[in-house]
Amino acid sequence: MQNNFGKYLNLVMSGQKIIVTKNGREIGRFIPKNAVVSYLTDSLTGILKEDYDLDEAKTEMELF
């Protein structure tokens, strides 16, 4: 990451999500700004409708 930050930044700018790991554990994510708003809005809407599955959301985020 340190030596190729520009490459990863370009990937995020093109809409991709980057998961940062250390010793096999996720420590952070780089995601496009519009994806953050969409993810939070979808999550809150699901919670308010009592239609939110936390396990499903975690699995979905692991795919990115």
DSSP β-bridge partners for residue 28 = 20
Q: Is a pLDDT exceeding 90 seen at residue 7?
A: yes
Q: What is the pLDDT of residue 45?
A: 63
- How is 1-63 classified by DSSP, letter by letter? -GGGHHHHHHHHHTT--EEEEETTEEEEEE--HHHHHHHHHHHHHHHHTT---HHHHHHHHHT
pLDDT of residue 31: 84
Q: For residue 49, what pLDDT is reported? A: 59
In this prediction, residue 11 carries a pLDDT of 92
Cβ within 8 Å of residue 13, ≥6 positions away: 32
pTM, two decimal places: 0.51
**What's the rounded mean pLDDT across residues 20-28?**
87
Give tens-digit pLDDT for 34-56. Answer: 776 556 666 566 555 565 566 76
What are the residues whose beta carbons fall under 8 Å from the beta carbon of 19, sequence distance 6 or more?
A: 26, 28, 29, 64
